[in-house]
């Protein structure tokens, strides 16, 4: 949630020594340091080591007392654990870092990779969909994946059950990329352990999370933005109205990627979200030719930003949910906080704006602004964050009423609300209502 780095600021030079790499790890793993804060601190102080020295004073100025950065011991432990399992820490600015991610405002400063990094040099396309996919859905995913692989594309997905698994299995021999919600070494679900090993042998597993981290609900939406960011387009195969796949679709729109969807039966709830995307402007996919046609002028351009909307990403949240089983249900099923109520509206509006049409959906939520929001300092961000929590309780409050109470512009409040929603701090309820997440249960 800290302010975004101005576009005129050059990206930091990648670390050249092991000490520098550990310093990058320490800085990003420090409490309340997200990607935006990471880049800003390095830009202001010249290096990660200097930024770490200044961080306690920066935190104090933002109202956080007794602040300590991530310890060198902890960061060095992660670095050595990664080396021990044969993973590679690839930092932004290095040749192996995915070019498609470089222009994103929330590009990870580094990624853990395990496998063949050369697959990232080939054109990538993402495929996502329901965990409880139908037999027709998995069949379609396999067929599309195989046909795209024959044309030189590498499939990117999230190693989840259902559509993800079908797409990975269909292209494991030709190379596929699995983006992990937890550590690059933590296979979730565990039933895909053998598949993950095969992906490592022929393709690539990547993650921005620490080695050994078991995925929690808050990690899946962050993972989804990488799936879409790596690809030239996203194909949605069977997505319910509230699903993690729609988070990926929304991210794709924000990032200027093409969004495509396979139609499903109107009576099948697993296809309600993908059908809605098609209704409101996403490309309908019946086969590989539809995909190639949809990519159009973008087919030869990785990371085109001509239609990209800016979005402010929040810092790493502090309070994880109870367990990873609940995490996947929340991240890809009906319990996903980020998919509640407003996700479809935001995705639909973004699609129709790109198609030059007027959305037919009601103005029920405050949309994430398409242009860069006003810059916010650490102190102001922390104050706004606390003001929102102070005004929300277990009883729902209308979002427009909250914004009026805060006396801040809607385009400043909306990204903060979205970040807090992804962090699991607030809940979005039907009717444009918001409430504070109950952490007592």
Q: What is the mean pLDDT of the chain?
A: 81
- Asked whether residue 59 carries a pLDDT value surpassing 70, the answer given is yes
Report the pLDDT value the prediction gives residue 360, as an integer from 0 to 100.
Answer: 36
Segment 239-280, tens digit of pLDDT: 998 888 998 999 999 999 999 999 999 999 999 999 999 998
State how far the Cα of 30 lies from the Cα of 27, in Å rounded to an integer: 5
pLDDT at position 357 is 41
By percentage, how much of the chain surpasses pLDDT 70? 76
Pick from 260, 216, 215: which is nearest to 239 by CA? Answer: 260
Model pLDDT, residue 379 = 65
What's the average model confidence in pLDDT over 357-363?
A: 36
254 to 121, 194, 277, 396: CA distances (angstroms): 23, 34, 15, 28
Judged by DSSP in three states, 205 sits in strand
* pLDDT category of residue 438 using cuts at 50, 70 and 90: low
N-terminal to C-terminal alpha carbon distance within the chain: 27
pLDDT of the residue at 413? 85
Q: pLDDT class for 163, splitting at 50, 70, 90?
A: very high
Q: Say if CB 316 and CB 33 are below 8 A apart.
A: yes
pLDDT of residue 90 exceeding 90, the answer is yes
| Contact of 124 with 189, CB cutoff 8 Å | no
What the chain holds in terms of domains, given with CATH numbers, is: 1-84 (no CATH), 89-364 (3.40.50.450), 373-441 (1.10.10.10)
Please tell me whether the peptide bond between 406 and the residue prior to it is cis, using omega within 30 degrees of 0.
no
How many other C-beta atoms are found inside a 10 Å radius of the C-beta of residue 178? Answer: 30
Report the C-alpha gap between 271 and 265 in whole angstroms: 7
- What gap in Å lies between CA 289 and CA 287, rounded to an integer? 6
**pLDDT 10s digits, 170-209:** 999 999 999 999 999 999 999 999 999 999 999 999 999 9
Of the candidates 224, 205, 197, the residue with the CA atom closest to the CA atom of residue 111: 205
What per-residue confidence (pLDDT) applies to 273?
A: 94
Cβ neighbors of 75 (< 8 A, separation 6 or more) are 22, 23, 25, 26, 29
More confident residue, 211 or 310: 211
CA distance 311 to 323: 28
Q: Comparing 92-96, 178-182, 349-353, 405-409, which segment has the lowest mean pLDDT?
A: 349-353
Read off the pTM: 0.70
Buried residues in 297-333 as b, exposed as e (16+ CB within 10 A): ebbeebbbeebbbbbbbbbbbeebbeebeebbbbbbb
Q: According to the model, what pLDDT value does residue 9 have?
A: 55
Give the pLDDT confidence score for residue 363 in this predicted structure.
Answer: 32
* pLDDT of the residue at 409: 86
Give the E-state strand segments of 241-400 in sequence order.
258-262, 283-284, 397-398
């Amino acid at each position: 949630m800290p302010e975004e780095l101005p576009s005129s600021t050059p990206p930091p030079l990648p670390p050249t020594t092991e000490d520098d790499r550990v310093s990058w790890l320490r800085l990003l793993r420090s409490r309340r340091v997200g990607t935006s804060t990471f880049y800003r601190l390095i830009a202001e102080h010249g290096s990660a080591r200097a930024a770490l020295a200044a961080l306690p004073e920066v935190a104090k100025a933002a109202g956080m007392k007794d602040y300590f950065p991530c310890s060198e011991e902890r960061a060095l432990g992660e670095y050595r654990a990664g080396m021990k399992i044969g993973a590679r820490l690839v930092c932004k600015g290095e040749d192996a870092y995915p070019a498609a991610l470089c222009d994103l405002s929330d590009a990870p400063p580094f990624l853990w990779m395990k496998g063949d990094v050369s697959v990232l040099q080939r054109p990538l396309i993402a495929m996502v969909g329901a965990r409880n996919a139908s037999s027709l859905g998995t069949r379609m995913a396999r067929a599309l994946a195989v046909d795209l692989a024959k044309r030189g594309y590498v499939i990117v997905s999230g190693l989840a059950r259902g559509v993800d698994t079908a797409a990975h299995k269909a292209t494991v021999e030709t190379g596929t990329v699995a983006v992990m919600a937890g550590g690059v070494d933590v296979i979730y679900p565990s039933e895909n352990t053998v598949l993950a090993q095969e992906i490592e042998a022929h393709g690539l597993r990547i993650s921005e999370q620490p080695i050994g981290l078991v995925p929690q609900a808050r990690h899946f939406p962050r993972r989804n933005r990488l799936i879409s960011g790596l690809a030239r387009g996203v194909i949605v195969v069977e997505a319910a109205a509230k699903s993690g796949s729609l988070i990926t679709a929304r991210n794709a729109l924000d990032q200027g990627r093409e969004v495509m969807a396979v139609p499903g039966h109107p009576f099948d709830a697993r296809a309600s979200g993908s059908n809605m995307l098609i209704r409101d402007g996403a490309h309908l996919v019946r086969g590989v030719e539809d995909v190639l046609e949809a990519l159009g002028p973008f087919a030869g351009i990785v990371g085109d930003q001509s239609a990209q909307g800016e979005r402010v990403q929040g810092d790493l949240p502090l309070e994880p949910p109870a367990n990873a089983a609940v995490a996947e249900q929340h991240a890809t099923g009906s319990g996903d906080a980020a998919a509640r109520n407003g996700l479809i509206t935001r995705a639909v509006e973004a699609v129709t704006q790109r198609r030059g049409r007027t959305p037919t959906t009601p103005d029920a939520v405050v949309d994430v602004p398409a242009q860069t929001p006003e810059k916010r300092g650490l102190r102001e961000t922390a104050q706004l964050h606390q003001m929102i929590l102070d005004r929300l309780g277990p009883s729902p409050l209308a979002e427009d009423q909250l914004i009026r109470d805060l006396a801040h512009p809607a385009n400043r409040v909306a990204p903060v609300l979205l970040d807090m929603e992804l962090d699991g701090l607030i809940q979005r309820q039907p009717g444009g209502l918001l409430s504070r997440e109950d952490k007592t249960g």
